[in-house]
Amino acid sequence: MGSKLWICFWGGVINAKKVSVRLGLQNAEECLILIYMISKGILKKKYPNEIAQAYFVYLANKHRGGVNNSKGNTYENFYTVYKIAQEIKNHSKGKNTSITSQAYAFVDDLVIEYDRKYKNRRRTRVKKSFFQIKDVSDLSWTSNKVHPLYKDFEIQYSVLKSTNKSCKQYLVVSNKKLHQKLSLSIPKSIRNHTNVEHFETADSLSKLIVDNAVIRNTLASICALKNPTIDKLVTLGTIILGAWDASNKQRVRIADIIESCLDMNPNYIKGKEQTISEELTNRLKAIKGFTFTVLHGYLSWEYNKTDKGIMSCRIGSKEFVQFEDYVKEQKEGLSFDQIESNLI
């Protein structure tokens, strides 16, 4: 994942490697300059020269600042994990949905390009959502007299619309009172295409999952286990965050994130339904006091009222086959004591 260098910007995306080769550019830095020039061109088509130049300088500085600040931004990462989990849930609707952090755009913290297949259409339609993510206690649409916040949403939507592209835009805030205030005061010029979203934050991902029902329920919906406990959801969330942090965060396909997550053991991502062999089923059913469930690729078990667990390895994996072989090798009349050490 991340071997291609894609640069996502508000006008579209550029495969930096391909463009560099075609135009004889030396590196990604030169490619970024190309994007600056394209952006300047787009802005000049829409606005008078002086205004276009001012917007262009603002955009370049905003992008530079965003890239510098993004590494330490926990809140942005938490929200991104939530959105990735949402898109993993929707993955069957389109394999090429991708996510970008710090896109070259006016609303730039996160960009999702959706790949959705529509019935009765031969080709896939791609839509985009842009997110500005703020972990602050106070903010206003209009207080910055030089470049008020709403202007970012207004310019971006206006220019995209003039190039026949549409999008949805979101301002995401962690403070509930601020969310209310901003929702009630969205400027008229952006009301039709911009929403304010509240997403609670926390000091750590594990605390977030305990406190924030939205991310907890979303992770639960992609978890292989029925009624997953918090430690399983924390495992899943942390693995997703790890896969995201390991990427270049530019146009990363959800399919690639899922693949990275599946390399971890355990990962608890909902997999295809699998059955276990009839022989293994019968041997396990015959163990006094032992019950088990096979769901979405994992085997969960209970023994009397005292013990329970979930096997870390997925059904069908090399480790599960070793467990199955071990059980089959034992004599009839198998007891829990005989298999307990292998139920890990």
Partner 1 sequence: MARIIQDWVDKGGSNLLNKLVDSNTNATEYRNTMYELGVLLATEIIKSLCKNNKNSVHLACTVEDADFLGKGIADTLDKAGVFVALTVYWNNTFVPNEENKISIAPIIKEFHEQIYGSVPEVLIIVKSIISSSCVVRTNLTRFIEEESPQQIYVVAPVILSGSKESLEKEFSTEISNRFQYYYLAEDSEKTVNGYVIPGVGGNVYERLGFENQNDKNKFVPNIVKERRNRQSMLL
User: H-helix or E-strand containing 7?
Assistant: strand 6-9
Using the minimum distance from each CB to partner 1, give the nearer residue, 255 or 264.
264
The CA R_g of the chain, rounded to the nearest whole Å, is 25
Smallest gap from Cβ 266 to partner 1, in A, equals 6
Q: Among 79-87, 92-100, 279-287, 298-306, which window interacts with partner 1 (CB under 8 A)?
A: 298-306
Task: Report yes or no: 133 and 110 within 8 Å, Cβ to Cβ.
Answer: yes
Q: Under the criterion CB under 8 A, does residue 321 sit at the interface with partner 1? A: no
Give the one residue of 309, 317, 327, 334 binding partner 1; rule: CB under 8 A. Answer: 309
| Burial tier of 28 (Cβ tally within 10 Å: 0-12, 13-18, 19+) | middle
Tokens of 172: 């995401």
Q: Among 82-90, 216-224, 241-249, 273-281, which window interacts with partner 1 (CB under 8 A)?
A: 241-249
Smallest gap from Cβ 77 to partner 1, in A, equals 9
Task: Report yes or no: 302 and 287 within 8 Å, Cβ to Cβ.
Answer: no
Q: Under the criterion CB under 8 A, does residue 230 sit at the interface with partner 1? A: yes
Give the one residue of 238, 274, 317, 338 binding partner 1; rule: CB under 8 A. Answer: 238
User: H-helix or E-strand containing 111?
Assistant: strand 110-116
Give the one residue of 231, 259, 279, 325 binding partner 1; rule: CB under 8 A. Answer: 231
Q: Any idea what the Cα angle at residue 30 is, between residues 131 and 155, rounded to 5°?
A: 30
Give the one residue of 205, 222, 252, 287 binding partner 1; rule: CB under 8 A. Answer: 205
Give the one residue of 246, 275, 279, 322 binding partner 1; rule: CB under 8 A. Answer: 246
Give the one residue of 142, 144, 161, 245 binding partner 1; rule: CB under 8 A. Answer: 245
Give the one residue of 3, 26, 164, 341 binding partner 1; rule: CB under 8 A. Answer: 341
Q: Any idea what the Cα angle at residue 295 is, between residues 291 and 216, rounded to 5°?
A: 110
Smallest gap from Cβ 205 to partner 1, in A, equals 7
Is the omega angle on the peptide bond into residue 228 within 30 degrees of 0, that is, cis? no
Task: Give how many residues touch partner 1 by CB under 8 A.
Answer: 38
Give the one residue of 19, 54, 210, 214 binding partner 1; rule: CB under 8 A. Answer: 210
The CA distance from 315 to 300, in Å, is 11
Q: What is the DSSP string of 151-185?
A: HHHHHHHHHHHHTT--EEEEEEES-HHHHHHHHHT
Task: Report yes or no: 55 and 45 within 8 Å, Cβ to Cβ.
Answer: no
Task: Report yes or no: 182 and 197 within 8 Å, Cβ to Cβ.
Answer: no
Q: Among 2-10, 21-29, 82-90, 263-271, which window interacts with partner 1 (CB under 8 A)?
A: 263-271
Q: Among 101-109, 168-176, 189-197, 202-210, which window interacts with partner 1 (CB under 8 A)?
A: 202-210
* Residues that bind partner 1 in the complex, under the rule CB under 8 A: 203-207, 210-211, 229-232, 234-235, 238-239, 241-243, 245-246, 264, 266, 268, 304-312, 337, 340-344
